[in-house]
Chains A and B, each alone.
Chain A
Amino acid sequence: MNRHLSQRLGFFVLTLVALFTVTPIVAVIVYIFIQGSPAISWEFLTVAPRSGMREGGILPAIIGTFYLTIGTAAFSVPLGIAAAVYLSEYAADNRWTRLIRLAIINLAGIPSVVYGLFGLGLFVLFLNFGTSILSASLTLSIMTLPVIISTAEEALRAVPQAFRTVSISLGATRWQTVRRIVLPQALPGILTGVILGLERAAGETAPILFTGAAFFLPRLPGSVFDATMALPYHLFVISTQVPEMPIQIQYGTALVLLVFVLGMNLIATVIRSRARARRQW
């Protein structure tokens, strides 16, 4: 066969493969929007479920996911950024640093349900935090940590080395250089990573199954030691555990979760592209 013909054939096949990979993504999103939007009403978003969850709204689940995301951020953002600063600005290239990197890679690969077991063992039982927002947030934080560390480190490393050298030569300490030059410059990149990490946490079910998720809770949680409903878990419950569940409520819940997650993704994308346009280096 003519080699130019084979190239054209090959390109054609790969184009099909790529299209076949992304079409389902678009299809899933569009389909859920179409099926779910009739369910969305003011009531659906602002009241608790009624009649064995077959009627009413999903407010406790929305608020719960919101709380869990905030709680996860409270632990994982400071810790993750500090760890990234250590790796990018302080750590020497030695055996310990390589061990840290290996640990981060491993954290990223541990199955989410194993995080759930760990959270149950450490936070719920050993530290006696109970099945609570606190336990679930801490569990999600550790799961989110590798995403935040690796994207934040990448953003920090992208700041030109020359800025650091100049700052140090003007009598700045390392921390002053980090705080006044490196962190502000890397901020958009770090923020993007943080949001992408939290997006994953907001959509996760397995880690909160045994650490903080409530099957049904008609009121809002009162403190961090209360369990909470959450959108992903609620979707799991109503699509597998509740017989004769109206299909519309299921799609509506899926849509709200999807909007929550895609909204975060969109914010991250906007921050990233605006920062790229405004960057001075």
Chain B
Amino acid sequence: MSLNWALSLSYSINPDYTYMKSELTWQEFIITRAIKASGYSAIVFVALIFFFLLREGLPTLGEVSFSNLVSTRWYPIEDYFGIVPLITGSLIVTIGAALVAIPFGIGTAIYIAEIAPRWMREILKPLVELLGGLPSVVLGFLGILVFSPWLRVFLDLPTGLTALTGSLLLGGIAVPTVVSVAEDALDTVPRSYREGAWALGATKWQTIWRVTLPAARSGVLTGVMLGVGRAIGETMAVMMVTGNAPVLALSLGSLFSPVRTMTATIAAEMGEVASGSVHYHTLFFIGLVLFLISLAVNVAASAVVFRSKKRAERILS
């Protein structure tokens, strides 16, 4: 094959391109800086949020006596700022939600990742995603109109707006988070693990419980933590269906009576307080508590992931 004719066409090494310094240098410099600054913006925002919660929330500690703050009476009009009932309210609703979200979330994740035929998976995954996208106010709205009257009749309660109603709704809201994170974790378990178990004569069922699930446990745990985190922070649906009574909830029996959560308190009362008042500062203080809880949950969740990654690296190397 001769290429001589092609070479003779118009061929000469042109020094223009080879030594042209990039003229885009300063543009590139600015763009690169802007991109880097954007990358760091997340840290700035977390810091800003923390700062403003501190700035508006900490004055409470000087304005409200400590014994008042940790008392069991929340009645701001008469200067009772006991946040304990709000914390127990959040706690009982969240525990109830976790009891719903954990079995249903993990069960659905296992079904989607391990058992469902392909076509079923293609239907279920977007549906669960859709649930994650439903506005919580719509769920709260149906909670008021449909779910709580039904629950009141079914359980023969004086009111349908109870902690239990909130828990069931919140469980539903937390499920998509649990499912998607847990399913991802199950999906990343190498196929060879399963094949190894099958080769040893284990049934699919045994493989799921003794091999796949244990191998994915840190991811599943992360999903549960993030789901619970979502439940603690959920506001609108909870505010609409839990009845909003700031009473101390200490036993499981409280599930069947109205409660008030921290988030609902902020949402319901912040609109009516004068900025800079004691009540205003106290609501910010509750926000600060919520922020710290979510910080702790998320740091713990990512620490679980990080540690298990380390372990995997150690095993694999």
* Interface residue ranges, A against B (CB under 8 Å): 3-4, 6-7, 10-11, 13-15, 17-18, 20-22, 24-26, 28-29, 31-32, 78-79, 82-83, 85-87, 90-91, 96, 99-118, 120-122, 125-126, 142, 145-146, 149, 173-176, 196, 199-200, 202-206, 209-210, 232-233, 235-236, 239-240, 247, 250, 254, 257-258, 261-262, 265, 269
Contact = CB atoms under 8 A, between A and B. Distances in A.
Contacts of B144: 239-240
B104 A109 contact: no
Top 4 A-B residue pairs of the complex, sorted by shortest distance between their CB atoms = A111-B233, A203-B135, A86-B39, A82-B38
Q: How large is the interface on B (under 10, 10 to 19, 20 to 34, 35 or more residues)?
A: 35 or more
Which of A121, A232, A233, A240 has the most B CB atoms < 10 Å from its CB? A121
A225 B258 CA distance: 39
Nearest to A22: B127
Nearest to A18: B111
A122 B52 contact: yes
B56 A121 contact: yes
A111 B283 CA distance: 14
Contacts of A257: 135, 137-138
B208 to A, nearest CB: 8
Contact of B53 (A6, A117, A202): A117
B24 A112 contact: no
A109 B107 contact: no
Interface in B36-69: 36, 38-43, 45-46, 48-49, 52-53, 55-56
Contacts of A269: 126
Interface stretch (B7-15, B70-78, B284-292): B284-292
A138 B108 CA distance: 36
A102 B115 contact: no
B315 interface: no
A105 B302 contact: yes
Contacts of B31: 175
A186 to B, nearest CB: 15
Contacts of B131: 22, 25
A107 B302 CA distance: 13
B248 interface: no
B82 interface: no
5 contacts: A21-B105, A21-B179, A82-B35, A111-B235, A205-B136
Nearest to A199: B133
Contact of B45 (A22, A103, A196, A203): A103
A268 to B, nearest CB: 9
B270 A105 contact: no
A198 B65 CA distance: 42
B206 interface: yes
A190 B173 CA distance: 25
A117 B22 contact: no
Contact of A235 (B110, B137, B175, B297): B137
A173 B24 contact: yes
Contacts of B2: none
B223 interface: no
B255 to A, nearest CB: 20
B250 to A, nearest CB: 24
A280 to B, nearest CB: 23
B115 A11 contact: yes
B32 A111 contact: no
A90 B298 contact: no
A6 B302 contact: no
Contact of A82 (B34, B48, B108, B270): B34
Contacts of B312: none
Contact of B236 (A6, A101, A117, A236): A236
A107 B236 CA distance: 19
Given A85-B38, A112-B235, 7 more contacts: A113-B235, A117-B53, A176-B28, A199-B133, A209-B270, A254-B141, A258-B135
A106 B294 CA distance: 7
